Amino acid sequence: MADLVVLDSLQDVTISCVYKNGVAVSDAMFEDAKVLVDTRLLESVVLGKISKEQIQCKVHGKTPVIGMVPHEIITEYLIEKVPEQDGYFIPDAQYSKLCVFERHRGTGHVSAAPLKGYGIKGGAIATSVAHDFHNVIAVGDNDEDILKAVQTIREIQGGYVLVSHGEIKGTLPLQIAGLMSTWPQKKVQSTIDYILTEAWKLGVSKESDPFITLSFMALPVIPELRLTDMGLVDVVNFTQL
């Protein structure tokens, strides 16, 4: 039988829209409520080896690029010449490096690709919310910050992480399966607001949510081009590149 742990109360959860027998359920009923969670759900980020070599992206002339579309979660399948050195993609202000790390079985599967339109400069963002597989997805303009963000995701066992110049600028732990927080709702919201503001300071386009939009870049059922831990997927033609 799995071990269970008791989490904090749900005192900040608003449930005034819930009715029983025609009577609104009072928030006070849940002030001292405890939540039992299988401990295995608090240890769901199982990453294999993480290294700079794993996130290198080879390019030869024009290469596939995931093009973000403002205010949308669809992407464009672009073929463009990107910055490179010695045959490897080098991110800049226009092209960010997008990476996906398998995080459920510790397989060590990692892939990387150019992403156009995200805009981050001098940092990286990582999250364990990455539909539908919910692997760890990260984006940045340098390998060091990308790796630090991903390593921090492992340490906090899921959530949102923002790193700039080697410094952790903000985290939101999502300890339950890497998708849900044990924190009160108000603390979660204030933390998200802070991290979003810090992300926009790093140049992330305000035409997209730094975390929510990023989470869809690994969803290989929405056109046109996506990245999984096994590589790029041409969703329109159902082929892996």
Span 169-226, pLDDT tens digits: 999 999 999 999 988 889 999 999 999 999 999 999 998 899 999 999 999 999 999 9
Q: What is the pLDDT of residue 37?
A: 79
Q: What pLDDT sits at residue 203?
A: 95
Task: Quote the CA–CA distance of 97 and 113 in Å, as a whole number.
Answer: 6
Summarize the chain as % helix, strand, coil (round to 5): 20, 35, 50
Tell me what pLDDT residue 99 has. 98
pLDDT at 13: 44
Task: Flag whether pLDDT at 15 surpasses 90.
Answer: no
Distance CA 119, CA 141 (A): 9
